[in-house]
Structure 1
């Protein structure tokens, strides 16, 4: 693993546990098990460290989307003129639910750090590269809903991603943490799939 990955993964863990106020060079060194001063040698300022952290989150988000590619309107998987039917939407809901559930478990620290960085980016425009995640996922959602017959796939795709982000936030830190099934369980994935299937059907009509 590269030194960039070691340092920024440790920074993600620090922010997830302590928030942005807890992000210091010393804290990252300690979390990564590196000699004191290593992080500051690579990133002289806190701003540089935050920018590297945001870049790492954006890179990992892109890998997730690439590894969990879903059919879009212009992909060969659909075939010429093929439309997504109800069974296709149910299958997509199951795939998306599995990804969301993984973000609630194995990816939990990254999601918490991403939300913290999004708030930080409202005051620091240079950090808005983190919004690239939303750009890619919206393009994917628009393709899916276009193939499902949505009358306005551009708007519907944006709405779908916003709803999914709200669902993730609710299960991660909101009221859903009290009422939803335990993340990482079949019950969690089934419950998420039911909610997502409802969204897909509603937005594809």
Structure 2
């Protein structure tokens, strides 16, 4: 059977919406078909199992949250200093705010991975590849900081974004610009 990649992407995007709205328990082929507006049974033709579906959703989430090539090129035209690292961290927050659904779906996948070993393996691979990509990007772009700097900022930003999405009252009173600047400054250290 020839696969329609546009339909496959629409099904994955629908699955992300379902995960964000209803959680992992609500993620059924029927719910995905309904959300995507396709005939019943369509999602099951594209994804052989629930684990396969969830693994592909994780990949799609990371695709949706990646910055555009234009945005990266624009940023890399700036001086490669701490202020550029701060800008990149702010850009991550902006993308999270623009696509909260993807982050919520990713949280659901992470929770589900604690109960599904195959999903844990696939999600770990996807997220580890994403982290390695960010480390390589930092090194290749000659941004300040080393491998551990990127790892620290990754974990700090993940926590900050999840806190903002799930318990915004904790973060709202804080000056987000200051939090990000201090985070980067402490992770990178003195110039």
TM-score class, shorter-chain normalisation, is 0.7 to 0.9
Equivalent residue in structure 2 for 1:197, among 174, 177, 181: 181
Contact 1:65-1:137 within 8 A present in 2 as well: no
Structure 1 residues 70, 95: closer, same or farther in 2, change over 3 A? farther
1:136 equivalenced with 2:133 (yes/no): yes
Q: In structure 2, the residue corresponding to 1:36 is in which secondary structure? A: coil
Q: What TM-score do you get using the length of structure 2 for normalisation?
A: 0.78
Q: Does 1:69 align with 2:72?
A: yes
- Asked whether the equivalents of residues 86 and 181 of structure 2 are also in contact (C-alpha less than 8 Å), the reply is yes
CA RMSD of aligned residues (A): 3.0
Q: Is 2:164 the counterpart of 1:161? A: no
Q: 1:99 aligns with which of 74, 92, 111?
A: 92
Query: What is the aligned counterpart of 2:16 among 12, 22, 32?
Result: 12
Of the candidates 92, 105, 109, which is equivalent to residue 101 of structure 2? 109
Take 1:162 and 1:71, find their aligned partners in 2: how far apart are those partners? 25
SS in structure 2 of the partner of residue 2 of structure 1: helix
- Contact 1:141 1:158 (8 Å CA) reproduced: no
Within 1, Cα distance between the matches of 2:78 and 2:49? 47
Contact 1:139 1:157 in 2 (8 A): no
Shift in Å at residue 69 of structure 1? 2.7
Alignment partner, residue 7 of structure 2: 3
Distance 1:65 1:128 in 2: 24
Instruction: Provide the rounded CA distance (Å) in 2 between the counterparts of 1:142 and 1:170.
Output: 28
Q: Any idea what the Cα deviations from partners look like across 1:146-167, whole Å, max 9, x if unmatched?
A: 743x5xx222221111111111
Q: 1:9 to 1:118 in 2, by over 3 A?
A: same
1:121 aligns with 2:101: no
Partner residue of 1:185? none
TM value normalised by structure 1: 0.73
Shift of the alpha carbon at 1:20? Answer: 1.0
